[in-house]
Chains A and B, each alone.
Chain A
Amino acid sequence: MNLWLTLLTKDLRRAVRNPLPWLIHLAVPLALTALLGLAFGRGTGEGAALGRIRFAVVDEEDSPLTRLLRGALNQGEAARHLEPEFLDRTDALAQLHDNQLSAVVILPPHFTRDYLAGRGPVTLELIKNPARSIHPAVLEELLGVGVTGLNALARTLGSEFPAWRAAFEQGADYRQVADLIRSTGEKLDTLRRYLDPPRITYRRETPPAPESPAPAARPGGGHNLFGYLLAGLATMFLLFQANTGMEDLQREFARHTFARYHTLHHRLLPFLAGKGAFVGVMLLVGAGILFGGGGLLFGIAWKHPLDLAALVAGFLVFAVGLAALLAALIADARRADALGTLIAMALGMAGGCAFPPESLPAFLREHITPLLPTAWLAQGIRELEFGSEPVHGPLLALRLAAVGMVLLGLAAAGFRRRFARGLRP
Chain B
Amino acid sequence: MAETGRLKAPASAGGWSALPLKRRVLLLRVAIIVTLVVVWEAVAASGLLFRDVVPSLVSVGKAMVSILTVADHKVQLFGAEHVIPDFYRHLWVTIGEVMTGLAIGGFAGLTVGLLLGANPFLSAAFERFLYYLGPAPKIIFFPLMIMWFGVGPGSKVAMGTISCFFPVVLSAASGVRQIDKVLIRVGRSFRVNTWQMVTKIYLPAMRQPIINGVRLGLGVAVIGTLLAETKLSNQGIGFLIINSYTTFDMPRMYALLMLLFVVSIAANALVGRASRA
Same complex origin of A and B: no
